Amino acid sequence: MEPIKVLIADDHVLYRAGVKTALSPKNDVKVIAEADNGMHLLNMLKMVQPDVILLDIQMPIMDGVTALPEIKKNWPNIKVIMLTMLEDHSMITRLMELGANSYLSKTSDIEVIYEAIKTCFEQDYYFNALTNKALLTNLKQRNQVTPQKLVQQEAHLNDKEMLILKLMCEEKSTKEIADLVELSPRTVEAIRDKLKVKTGAKSTAGLIMYAVKNNILNEEL
């Protein structure tokens, strides 16, 4: 298979060089281009098509927050991982709503960055402690509350499916969920796959996004 093509957009030359050098031993990931601001990045995307962009939030001329919607509008299949030194929950929520596929601290070690690139490429989203906390607090508070019965009617989720979805959002493993709901792990996996079909989610991350947006975490079963 072809390696995952990565573009790094950051105004710090040393950071770009460090990430590129650290990723170079990875055979399944290849840095194909670099940009030093958002405008430079958008112009570059007319000539090169990466699979994943590492996008710094704070850059001169055009920052990452401004560039993100343009990327998603014109190149919707490109996955974008936001990079920042700030752990701002409201900013994380805003960026995820604008289409960011993950959000990493610039202090993250290269294995975390590598894992985020691969996971976003393969499963659309990469969740970590930063994104989880932001989504499970800010998004839950800001989004319009949807009554449980309307959620059930829209996606036709039964009580067992709702419970399993809630447990997934609590980061329970398949075995832990199976023990709690008194089903076999294989049955839990089958229900998880059925939930993806019902909700239109492409991955487990997508299911969590669906649960948060529909306020399922707050509903009593």
pLDDT in tens, 10-62: 999 999 999 999 999 999 999 999 999 999 999 999 999 999 999 999 999 99
Predicted confidence at residue 56, as pLDDT, reads 95
CB 145 within 8 A of CB 215: yes
On average, the pLDDT of the chain sits at 85
CB 51 within 8 A of CB 79: yes
Regarding pTM above 0.85, the answer is no
Highest mean pLDDT among 33-42, 92-101, 123-132, 212-221: 33-42
Which segments of 60-173 does DSSP mark as H helices, in order? 64-74, 89-97, 110-123, 129-134, 140-142, 148-155, 159-169
**Token pair in block for residue 39:** 């405008």
Question: Domains along the chain?
Answer: 4-126 (3.40.50.2300), 143-218 (1.10.10.10)
pLDDT in tens, 170-189: 878 888 999 999 989 888 88
Please say if the pLDDT value at position 211 is more than 50: yes
